[in-house]
Amino acid sequence: MRKSTRADIAIEDLLGQITSKRLTTTHKGKTQQFILEWLELVCQYEDLTPLAANFQPVMKKAMLQHSLVGYKPFYDVKTAEDLEVKKGRAAIDYDAYIIVVHQVAANYDNRHSFKQKQRNDIQQVNQTNIHYEETDFGQIQDSMVK
């Protein structure tokens, strides 16, 4: 915990980033990286604030859920948890939620990167360059290079 004007500004900035950071379909990069960056912002915030001002685990879970709701796999995690609570079971705690979203993110990233790799392979297979060379007799000869 620090007490200075600079620390106060950093705290306000971190709080703004934590509460406004959203994983959307336009996000470039891995979902796991997004989650790690969000968790890092929370750690930085809690390092700069007194223990009494730190977020409770239930609040951190709610904020993380809100930042991930833009992707269906994470929305499905929340929906599944809500169904379990309606059945009378306890909601998962913050630490367990982080484990679950990391697993979902890893699965999503693996599936997404595989599709992207396939798309790039298809583009490379279909790429053709044509070069024209002049022969000794002044005739144009075309050759295909793949």
pLDDT digits (tens, 9 = 90+) for 78-124: 999 999 999 999 999 999 999 999 999 999 999 887 555 544 544 55
Domain ranges of the chain: 5-106
**What is the pLDDT confidence band of residue 8, given thresholds at 50, 70 and 90?**
confident
Q: Answer yes or no: pTM beyond 0.75.
A: no
Residue pair 31/69 in contact (Cβ under 8 Å)? The answer is no
| Distance of alpha carbon 82 from alpha carbon 123, whole angstroms | 43
H-run or E-run covering 140? strand 140-145
Residue 36, pLDDT score:
95
- Say how far apart CA 83 and CA 88 lie, in whole Å: 9
Element (H, E) at 134: strand 129-134
- Is the CB of residue 62 less than 8 Å from the CB of residue 25? no
